[in-house]
């Protein structure tokens, strides 16, 4: 299966966690990030092709 996502949509899913970072959920797994740009690497690790 090919999975794609736009970078903008991924960034929209990274919401502030109230502690200066972000909470990002992808395929039911939660990640806590310091930088929203980390979503690209996480999505790629899940097999997504990122569309810019």
| 42-52 residue pLDDT tens | 999 999 999 98
Q: List C-alpha distances in Å: 47 to 16, 33, 40, 42.
A: 25, 19, 11, 9
Residue with tokens 């980390």: 38
What's the structural domain count of the chain?
A: 1
Question: 32-43, pLDDT tens digit by residue?
Answer: 999 999 999 999
Strand partners, 3: 48
- Range of 35's domain? 3-51
pTM of the model: 0.87
To the nearest whole percent, how much of the chain has pLDDT over 70? 100
Phi, psi of 21 (to 5 degrees): -120, -160
Predicted confidence at residue 39, as pLDDT, reads 97
Is residue 38 helix, strand or coil? Answer: helix
Predicted confidence at residue 49, as pLDDT, reads 97
Phi, psi of 25 (to 5 degrees): -115, 130
């Amino acid at each position: 299966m090919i999975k794609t996502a736009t970078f903008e949509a991924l960034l929209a899913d990274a919401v502030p966690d109230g502690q200066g970072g972000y909470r990002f959920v992808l395929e039911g797994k939660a990640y806590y990030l310091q930088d929203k740009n980390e979503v690209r690497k996480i999505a790629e690790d899940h097999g997504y092709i990122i569309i810019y």
